[in-house]
């Protein structure tokens, strides 16, 4: 039971975030005019520019507007000509605390999440960053509370009580006892399926 208890309190990872949304993936030769059709519906999405299985860059609505303000015709240009290339790639199993620190130091144009085979599995958006900071804070608070509770319970149990009963109070409270001694619970008739 302790293993299950500890595993459930492992720090969330970047792959635990909602990384499958807020982006589209296009090939390097895609015209900006085609991308604009998608961005008209989802203006906050990032356009990840891919060649083969590798993400080479990112284009956003802001980048397109900036390019157009410089006099470039969006109907003629392709995404690979205006994409930003400061891409941070990280493994999906990276703990949030490490990931957030890496992101703040690198200040990338886009954050790409990969699996253990280095294959693209998602995009870590600005919204994901905000959600990740909240999720990490909640995780840290819950972990601290559980550690304090566990410590307080352990301190209350004297070794003589443990030896007398044969059951560790902490195990009992956390549910780590054998089911052999469990009494049968009577099920109300409305739940009987017979």
pLDDT tens series, the chain, 194 aa:
334 344 446 888 898 888 888 899 999 999 998 999 889 999 999 999 999 888 999 999 999 999 889 988 877 899 999 999 999 999 999 999 999 999 989 989 999 999 989 899 999 988 888 888 888 888 888 887 887 777 777 766 655 455 555 555 556 556 554 544 444 444 444 434 44
- List Cα–Cα distances, 178 to 55, 117, 167, 172, 184, in angstroms: 51, 41, 10, 10, 14
- List Cα–Cα distances, 56 to 18, 48, 53, 112, 193, in angstroms: 21, 8, 9, 10, 58
**Taking Cα atoms as reference points, which of 132, 112, 130 lies closest to residue 122?**
112
| All domains of the chain in start order, with CATH | 2-134 (3.10.580.10)
Q: How far is the C-alpha of 29 from the C-alpha of 97, rounded, in Å?
A: 37
């Amino acid at each position: 039971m302790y293993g299950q208890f500890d595993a459930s309190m492992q720090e969330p990872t970047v792959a635990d975030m909602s990384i499958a949304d807020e982006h589209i993936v296009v090939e390097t030769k895609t015209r900006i005019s085609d991308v604009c059709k998608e961005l008209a519906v989802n203006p906050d999405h990032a356009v990840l520019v891919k060649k083969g299985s590798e993400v080479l860059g990112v284009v956003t609505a802001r980048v397109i507007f900036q390019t157009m303000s410089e006099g470039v015709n969006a109907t003629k240009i392709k995404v690979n000509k205006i994409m930003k290339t400061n891409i941070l790639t990280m493994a999906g199993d990276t703990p949030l605390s490490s990931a957030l620190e890496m992101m703040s130091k690198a200040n990338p144009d886009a954050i790409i999440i990969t699996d253990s085979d280095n294959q693209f599995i998602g995009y870590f958006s600005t919204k994901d960053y905000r959600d990740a900071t909240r999720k990490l804070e909640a995780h840290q608070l819950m972990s601290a509370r559980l550690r304090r509770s566990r410590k307080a319970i352990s301190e209350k149990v004297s070794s003589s009580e443990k030896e007398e009963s044969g059951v560790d109070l902490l195990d009992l409270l956390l549910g780590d006892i054998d089911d052999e001694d469990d009494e049968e619970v009577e099920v109300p008739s409305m739940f009987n399926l017979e």
